[in-house]
Chains A and B, each alone.
Chain A
Amino acid sequence: MFFKKLYNYSKVLFFALIFFIMLFIYLNYKWGITATPIHQFGMFSSVMKETDTQTIYHIYADDHLVDMSNVYFSKRDLLLNSIAFYKIQQQHNTSVFNILDPLFSKVKFPTWDINNFSNDITDDQFLTWFKKRVSVFLGYRVQKIEIFSQKYLWAKEGFAPVSTAQKEFIAINR
């Protein structure tokens, strides 16, 4: 058995492996907090329902809808996630800070400060960056960016909108 051989070879390595596995099991059992390199490989494990609506972001570059099916998926994920995450980043980061605060403030780290764990960014700065990313990915300089969100539900033939498109952001000639 490998574990026995490992114990004979190096007790430090043996106990390090046992500790890693125990910590992995504990953090996975607790279901929430992680400690890189220990992660929870639970993606797509929670039940997904037929009636789940999808919020889709539509990006218009110079009044033309960017066809996301033509954008390599890693780039598409960066663009779409950055919109979704930018919207929630302030609230989300504060929430993470507050959850960890009882633990970190006990140790009294001098840099454990909400400002270090929050973004210092305005809508203008985000949109300037976003327009630059879209320009790079599309291969031409985009002058105007508009971002809309809309909810969709799967019907027999495909996705059908279940809400009207809402304007999220607009950036012109920045």
Chain B
Amino acid sequence: MQLTDKHIKQFLGSYLAWFIIYYVWIFCTGLLFSQVQPVFFLNRLDLTGNILMLGNLQHLLIKSQSLRIIFDLLYLLLPCLLVFFNLKKSKAVPYIAIATAVFSFVYNYFYTLMIFVSPEVFVVWMFMPFIFSTCSIKGIYFRLHTVRIIFLVFFLSSALWKIRAGGIFNTDQMSGVLKSQHAPHLVNNISDWYAAMISWFISHPAISYTLYLFAFLAEFSFIVGFFTTRFDKYLLILFCMFIIGDYFFMEINYCSWFAFAGCLYFSRFNLIESKNIP
């Protein structure tokens, strides 16, 4: 099947819909910048992030609620503008895409520095605007596959880390991970069904290790994506299971990454090799 304008509209729509759902989710949990009103930051050993901090935005954001509100609004507005202008096939699209990606970087960096969320969770919002930085089918095709490769690198690297750091060779690993991840819950309350389930997994290290092993194998299987797009629908299923599993068992919200799913779903469409196609 060939990649058409219809598919691109679907991709744009799914990106924007998921971004808005995720934004509303953060808003409803009271965790937007302007809602939390952070008072301090914890710096990271991040080269680009520290270059960004040379502008002293970190102190301005702590001091000014107006700036935090502007940040929250811009964060919502820019992807909407990007999708709108892309659908209109405007010449401004590359500039809006750059602005969206750069602002996502700025917002996400300071947000994760002050709200103490893993920065990896938000990386998706920096890459997705790049896909839509052009209106041509050919341009979007190549950008989509470029981001797909980057996404595969991320996933595969997490499997390689488990080998390198030794977690995969430790049969008590998942039991230990669950303990550290759920300790505040389990100390307070062991009577609800969730605590009972987690406690059961902790007490059965061999069974919980199979979860860890499954996650490792799922991550490692993404290596196949470097050679072919034929198995992308299976990778998509594994990816969705991984994100849901992360949310359910680990209470880690990687749901923003569902936006990456479009790269695996739309990768099956080919490019029409014709001079008439823009």
Which residues of A are in contact with B by a Cβ distance under 8 Å? Answer: 2, 5-6, 9-10, 13, 17, 20-21, 24, 28, 32-37, 39-50, 52, 54, 56-57, 65, 67-70, 72-78, 80-82, 85-86, 88-89, 92-93, 96-97, 99-100, 103-104, 109, 111-112, 116-117, 119-121, 125-126, 129, 132-133, 136-137, 152, 154, 156, 158-159
Contact = CB atoms under 8 A, between A and B. Distances in A.
Interface in B24-65: 29-31, 36-50, 53-56, 58-59, 62
Contacts of A117: 43, 50, 53
A145 B140 CA distance: 53
Nearest to B123: A37
Interface residues of B, number: 80
Contacts of B158: 41-43, 45
B161 A41 contact: yes
A120 B188 contact: no
Interface stretch (B9-17, B88-96, B174-182, B231-239): B174-182
A86 B116 CA distance: 11
Q: What 3 A-B pairs come out closest when comparing CB atoms?
A: A48-B176, A42-B161, A69-B189
Contacts of B179: 48, 52, 54, 154
Contact of A96 (B45, B177, B186): B45
A48 B180 contact: yes
B42 A93 contact: yes
Contact of B186 (A17, A103, A158): A158
A74 B252 CA distance: 8
Interface of B: 29-31, 36-50, 53-56, 58-59, 62, 105, 108-109, 115-120, 123, 126-127, 138, 142-143, 145-146, 149-150, 153-155, 157-158, 161-162, 164-167, 169-170, 172-173, 175-177, 179-180, 183-190, 192, 194-195, 199, 202-203, 251, 253
Contact of A74 (B108, B127, B184, B253): B253
B177 A116 contact: no
B77 to A, nearest CB: 21
A67 B192 CA distance: 12
Given A24-B157, A47-B166, A74-B253, A96 B44 contact: yes
Most-contacted residue by chain A among B109, B115, B187, B203 (CB, 10 A):
B187
B202 A154 contact: yes
B241 to A, nearest CB: 17
Nearest to A27: B47
Contact of A52 (B164, B176, B190): B176
Given A40-B161, A68-B188, A74-B29, A152 B183 contact: yes
A77 B123 contact: no
